[in-house]
Amino acid sequence: MEAVRELITTDPEVMLGKPVVAGTRITVEEILRRLAAGERAEDILEAHPRLTPYFLARLSASPHPAVGSPSLRFSRGPGFLGGRR
> Distance between CA 80 and CA 46 in Å, rounded?
39
Q: Is residue 81 part of a domain?
A: no
> Distance between CA 32 and CA 22 in Å, rounded?
16
Q: Is residue 40 part of a domain?
A: yes
Q: Is residue 9 part of a domain?
A: yes
Span 4-26, mean pLDDT?
87
Give me the number of domains the chain comprises.
1
Q: Are the C-beta atoms of residues 17 and 11 closer than 8 Å to each other? A: yes
Range of the structural domain that residue 14 is part of: 4-65
pLDDT in tens, 44-81: 999 998 888 988 888 887 766 545 443 333 344 444 44
